[in-house]
Structure 1
Amino acid sequence: MSLFKKENLTTAIRCLLYALPLTPAIVAGSFLFPYISARTIYFRGIVEIALLVALVLWWRYRVHSRVERNYFFIVFSFFAVTNIISSFFSYSFLIAWFSDIERMWGVFTLLHLFLFYLLLRAFFTGREWRVFLNIAIIVSVYIAGYGILQHYPDVFGIRVFQAGAGRIISTLGNSAYVAIYMLFSACFALFLLLKTKTKWLRFGYGIAVLLDLFAFNLAGIRGAMLGLMAGVTVAALCYILMGSSRKLKASIAGFIIVGAAVFFFAFLNPNAPFVRSSSLLQRMSSITLSGGTTETRFIGWRAAWRGFLEHPVFGVGMDNFDTVFNKYFDADYYIYAPSEPYFDRAHNAWLDLLVMTGAFGFIIFLGFVFFIFYYLIKGYRAQKISLAEFLLFTAMSVAYFVHLLFVFDDLNSYIYFIILLAFIEYRYHRNTLFEIGDERANAFGGYAVTAGIAAVAITSVFYQFNIKVALACRRTIDAVQQKNAADTVRVFEEALDYNIVPSRNVVLTYVTQLTQWINDVSALRQNPAELELVQQAMTRGQEALAKEIRKDPANALLYNRQAVLNNIAALLSGDSLFLQNALQASQKSIELSREHLQYYYTLADTYLIAGDSAKALETIQKSISINSQYKPGYYQLMRVYLAGNQLDQAFNVGKILVNMGYTEGTDQILVRLADVFEQNKNSKRVIATLILERKLYPQDGTVAARLMREYLQAKDYDSAVALAKEIKETNESLRAQAEYLIQEIKAGRGPEVLRQMESGS
């Protein structure tokens, strides 16, 4: 059959590979995690289809291997095997293999990247590499252009998603991803520029290099900038050692010295006009070992190191770092970042390697580093690789490895790292990894059976881990966008019914949606139909969470969300069994992450629902003893005191909150405290509480009006006038009303003013 001719099959595989540079440009807003899910599915799907075609080729034709001296093949093979072994020592085997939708990483994606490398090396020679790199450069120009439009919407009169003057994310969703992608793309464009003699092509490649580097600068990632500077410096030093032009060597040496002096000056004088006028120097001069971002990174890095020491041989498995982070989480994190912490990466790819794959995986990965320079040095000496090529790929490799000190790797950069590996190896060997020989004499023997079984397996994998995952991602977003609860539950259940393996994010999105609905429990109890719907949804959510916990039994976050759902179920039903379940789940989450303060707050909620305010108080006090600087802890303490009717203690904590300047929810809890004091006929405490609230919210007219009424009811006219004067000076919109109040009260008509305020006139 002509369809199965060797030429047709190899052309089909090459065309599929030509489609892969489009991966970074793929964004699907209708998918869960739009910058991750759709493009990963696309990449994996293309690789799987190419593998199917390669199987047909292997079935029909003899294939001769040339892998002996292809060291990246050996290193990558051992690295993949090591990650597979690590998965058996991981906290969660399924997470190690299939990750979650937010990352879509794991051994499964790593194997696709290995296959991508094999396909590049098996089917690309000089011509194919040129076509492939040209496509990649065209895509990079689009992505760079999109990022530039993002940054300058007013200049071009075009507003795209995430437009504004901040760091660009383009189609990649993260500035760090943009930076290293642009650096790789500029490298390949510069390579083609150096190798091309046609003027218009050289001009085009030059434009691509400039656009990519401009977008790289707009991404504003210091780690990538440090990487670029390190790469250029190493390449410059290499030229000084290896180059032939003495003048150029002297110029390069001078440039290095001047450049070092400029950056040293910028670091010591970050506010100098010369430094402030350069975005590059601004970014470099702002590097510090004591900033909030740096401190949180150190916390993650320390957790990774401790995780490695606990699992030094094969690590904890891919994508299991979140368990390590929770276990060794340091509550000092809250000093620098008050939000709930969740690190699934160490934000240092080298430490990620160490903790996830252990010493074995780390050492094997260093084989990539070693053999890059082995190929470049030996290739240069054998005149297979030019000096310009040597310097370019040395600079890019150093830049990438330095960049990895500050970020975790992602699909986009890993794809381009593999392209770099495969291309360097090709430039050294100048042949493919395999040679396709003659047609097999008996194509329907054992090879056919093996190929057929493999084809069925690949097709099944394609459906299970690409098609079904895509459908679940799409339905999850559809569910969030529904306008009523019944439709939301129905569509979420459709997403869950796909029963995908990496389902954690679908389930957590569902749970988040459920918790957002339950704002007024008493109102729900008055609506039997809606109550029944919510209870059914809660049951399904509990079942889904329990399933996730079975997959990932050391995940503290899952136990916490399970506790939250049980707390809500207890409020809705009054069934104490839910409280027992919530108690067990909260205790488990705290056991797994002893300094994660939000987990203590959930446990305190359980005790409050059960009516045990003493236990709730003990729990919150424990959280404050872990980190006494975390403002939300005092908010929780005030809640517990108020729930236990310890009003004086609640008031004193309220003063602490106001002095701390904590505003999130403080207005509501102060109003509740004032209401309770009012019910208890304690006018002085009502006034004192409202004064606290006004101190925190000086522009809030409602608080000012209530405080004015309290002063008038207490016949404290001096304080009422003082308050009116304060309002007149600080709130322009209420100035006329404040002036009227001052005149009326001074005229002795305070009781009349009070009647007017109470009647709303």
Structure 2
Amino acid sequence: MLFLYTLLSSHKKLKIVLAVLFITATIGSVVVLLNQDSAFVRGSALLRPFSEINFNNPTLNTRLISWRAALQDFPNHPLLGSGYGNYSLTFDKYFDPKFYNYTRSETYFDKAHNNIVEIIATTGILGLITYLSIFAAIAYYLIFGYRQKKIGVHEFVLVGCLLTAYFIQLLAAFDALVTYLVSMTTFAYVYYLYNRGSEEDEKKIKKNMDETMVFGSTEIYALVIVGVTMLLIAYQYNVKVYNMLAGTIDGQKAYAEGKVMETIDIYKKTLASGTVLDRDSRSSLINLFAANPAVINSLPVDKREGVINFLVSLVEANVKYNEHDSMMQMMLAQVYNLAAMYYIPSGDQSGDVQKFYEYSDKALKAIDASIEASPRRVPIYFQKAQILLTRGEKEKTIETLQYAASLNPDYPDGFFYLGRAYLLLGQEQEAYDNIGKCIDSPTGGQVINYPDLTRQYLAYYENIKDWPRVIRLYEFLTEQEKDNADNWAQLANFYKEQGDINKARIAAEKAMEIDISLTSSAQDFINSLDR
């Protein structure tokens, strides 16, 4: 803004002042950026945002991976793109497993978080030219309107800066309804400024409108039809959707309270009306059972098969939206595998081998479709390994998990699941070799995150006297059980034995802080560190 005012101001003294302010602000920003880690910058509420500008920022790096995927896909359909709204397919197809080095969550992108990248990926060069032509037209009206004195300097600067900020923002974000409304209103305002007449012309136009704006029967009928149409649209896309979302929340509450059968009944009623957002509601129920398949066994025996069939119908309906959607195909595989597991003989049911293989074969087909859509997305292979393990195909299970781990050796989950599979197959040495790699990872504690599991591994590594991994596991435990002073006390002892005196002191102080009854022994321990 200062730059534009400097260029356009007709007052020489003001121009000099603005130029000095602009240069000062520019130099100041550069100096702050060069010293972004200083205590002064970090301690200032105004300057602190500069300290967060970092090329190692996880969000920036995941978006760079997303944009590279679009670049890789561009040669396949340069003119028309992959189709509007299909960015998720491009992202999945060229997904880079290094993504997991920056975050473990939000690994599915349906938007590029860069409007230019998304438009060229989904609508091609023709779409990008069309999109940029909007800004070219607005620039034309602004510049020529200013030159013809139809647009004042303040209007020119403010609108120009607003649209520039909007365009730059879209290089790291995507449009939403609110930004669409503001941008279109601004475009209309610029067009109005360029084409508005004199005050006398405006008065004549208003007078004409007042004289001719007389409603006849035709206009009244038209308004009634439009009003009824709007009410129907509001009911279909607002009222019904609201009721569906409210029902979905009620279903989630019932599940959280352990009322599984009531959950199913609520969802059946909720989804009966049919809305445009049913897919999300269906997915929320599917995820509950996919995360905990054993919950099926809590249902009455005569209700289980009906619930299985209901879940299958939901996920099949979701896949119909787009059979190339990797996530939906993976969810389909999970539900088919859940159904297959139901037909395995157990204590209270005889099972059905034919049904087992019918659903298990469908699960394999679905998971292979998911992999085809996103061949380097590591967790999909974990689901495939589970299906293979259910079928008793041990060698293929191990091969699948070995490949998954090889896709990104810095992603500890691959080694964790491979180790777990080896344990289930009774191959202890191979199991703990891989689990050890997970423990060694900087993010291993996010994978081994249950106290019982951590203690199981602790017993093994203590037995073989692998003290570095024992220490790592105790560090995991102190995160998992923050109020357990014994964990901190044990960790302090191991730190001392390994010669890490400073950490031993900190751990002992933490144990003493949590449990004051340990104050005397902890203080004696700390004193012993100085001898």
TM-score between the two structures when normalised by the length of structure 1 = 0.56
Aligned equivalents of 2:465, 2:389: Cα separation in 1: 26
- Asked if 1:515 is matched to 2:290, the reply is yes
The correspondence of residues 353-372 of structure 1 with structure 2, limited to 5 A, is 353-372=119-138
Match of 1:568 in 2: 338
Match of 2:321 among 551, 565, 577: 551
- Asked if 1:696 is matched to 2:473, the reply is yes
Q: 1:532 to 1:257 in 2, by over 3 A?
A: farther
Partner of 2:112, secondary structure, is coil
Query: Displacement, 1:595?
Result: 0.8
Query: Displacement, 1:528?
Result: 5.7
**Would the aligned equivalents of 1:690 and 1:703 in 2 still touch at CA under 8 Å?**
no
Q: 1:730 to 1:468 in 2, by over 3 A?
A: closer
- Asked if 1:597 is matched to 2:378, the reply is yes
Aligned equivalents of 2:487, 2:145: Cα separation in 1: 78
After superposition, what is the alpha-carbon deviation per residue over 1:167-188, rounded to whole angstroms, capped at 9, x for unaligned? xxxxxxxxxxxxxxxxxxxxxx
- Asked if 1:611 is matched to 2:388, the reply is no
Match of 1:401 in 2: 167
After superposition, what is the alpha-carbon deviation per residue over 1:178-202, rounded to whole angstroms, capped at 9, x for unaligned? xxxxxxxxxxxxxxxxxxxxxxxxx
Query: Displacement, 1:449?
Result: 9.1
Partner of 2:445, secondary structure, is coil
Query: Displacement, 1:468?
Result: 2.1
Aligned equivalents of 2:12, 2:48: Cα separation in 1: 34
Give % identity.
27
For structure 1, the 5+ residue unaligned runs are 1-231, 678-683, 708-717, 719-724, 740-761
Match of 2:239 in 1: 467
The correspondence of residues 378-393 of structure 1 with structure 2, limited to 5 A, is 378-393=144-159
Match of 1:491 among 262, 266, 270: 266
Aligned equivalents of 1:334, 1:477: Cα separation in 2: 31
Query: Displacement, 1:306?
Result: 3.0
Q: 1:689 to 1:274 in 2, by over 3 A?
A: closer
Amino acid at match of 1:509: S
**Would the aligned equivalents of 2:412 and 2:437 in 1 still touch at CA under 8 Å?**
no
After superposition, what is the alpha-carbon deviation per residue over 1:442-467, rounded to whole angstroms, capped at 9, x for unaligned? 855xx999888777665544433333
Q: 1:734 to 1:578 in 2, by over 3 A?
A: farther
Q: 1:566 to 1:479 in 2, by over 3 A?
A: same
Query: Displacement, 1:640?
Result: 0.9
Query: Displacement, 1:379?
Result: 2.2
Aligned equivalents of 1:403, 1:581: Cα separation in 2: 44
Match of 1:260 among 26, 33, 48: 26
- Asked if 1:538 is matched to 2:330, the reply is no
Partner of 2:320, secondary structure, is helix
- Asked if 1:304 is matched to 2:70, the reply is yes
Aligned equivalents of 1:537, 1:686: Cα separation in 2: 46
Match of 1:151 in 2: none
Aligned equivalents of 2:277, 2:412: Cα separation in 1: 35
After superposition, what is the alpha-carbon deviation per residue over 1:42-84, rounded to whole angstroms, capped at 9, x for unaligned? xxxxxxxxxxxxxxxxxxxxxxxxxxxxxxxxxxxxxxxxxxx
Aligned equivalents of 1:282, 1:738: Cα separation in 2: 43
**Would the aligned equivalents of 2:324 and 2:369 in 1 still touch at CA under 8 Å?**
no
Match of 1:643 in 2: 424
After superposition, what is the alpha-carbon deviation per residue over 1:23-46, rounded to whole angstroms, capped at 9, x for unaligned? xxxxxxxxxxxxxxxxxxxxxxxx
**Would the aligned equivalents of 1:312 and 1:359 in 2 still touch at CA under 8 Å?**
yes
Q: 1:587 to 1:393 in 2, by over 3 A?
A: same
Aligned equivalents of 1:651, 1:702: Cα separation in 2: 28
Aligned equivalents of 1:479, 1:416: Cα separation in 2: 37
The correspondence of residues 402-481 of structure 1 with structure 2, limited to 5 A, is 402-430=168-196, 438=212, 459-481=231-253
After superposition, what is the alpha-carbon deviation per residue over 1:276-306, rounded to whole angstroms, capped at 9, x for unaligned? 3444433235423333222111011112233
Query: Displacement, 1:538?
Result: 3.1
Partner of 1:551, secondary structure, is coil
Aligned equivalents of 1:345, 1:689: Cα separation in 2: 46
Aligned equivalents of 2:179, 2:73: Cα separation in 1: 25
- Asked if 1:326 is matched to 2:89, the reply is no
Q: 1:279 to 1:359 in 2, by over 3 A?
A: farther
Partner of 2:97, secondary structure, is coil
**Would the aligned equivalents of 1:275 and 1:281 in 2 still touch at CA under 8 Å?**
yes
Amino acid at match of 1:510: L
Aligned equivalents of 1:238, 1:730: Cα separation in 2: 58
- Higher RCO by CA contacts (8 Å cutoff, separation 6 or greater): 1
Q: 1:340 to 1:422 in 2, by over 3 A?
A: closer
For structure 2, the 5+ residue unaligned runs are 197-201, 345-355, 491-496, 498-503, 522-531
After superposition, what is the alpha-carbon deviation per residue over 1:641-697, rounded to whole angstroms, capped at 9, x for unaligned? 11111111112223222222512453544555689x8xxxxxx98565899556412
Aligned equivalents of 1:417, 1:369: Cα separation in 2: 11
Q: 1:252 to 1:612 in 2, by over 3 A?
A: same
Question: How many residues in Structure 1 have an aligned counterpart in Structure 2?
Answer: 476
**Would the aligned equivalents of 1:674 and 1:689 in 2 still touch at CA under 8 Å?**
no
Partner of 1:319, secondary structure, is coil
The correspondence of residues 619-658 of structure 1 with structure 2, limited to 5 A, is 619-658=400-439
Amino acid at match of 2:412: K
Q: 1:361 to 1:256 in 2, by over 3 A?
A: same
Amino acid at match of 1:571: M
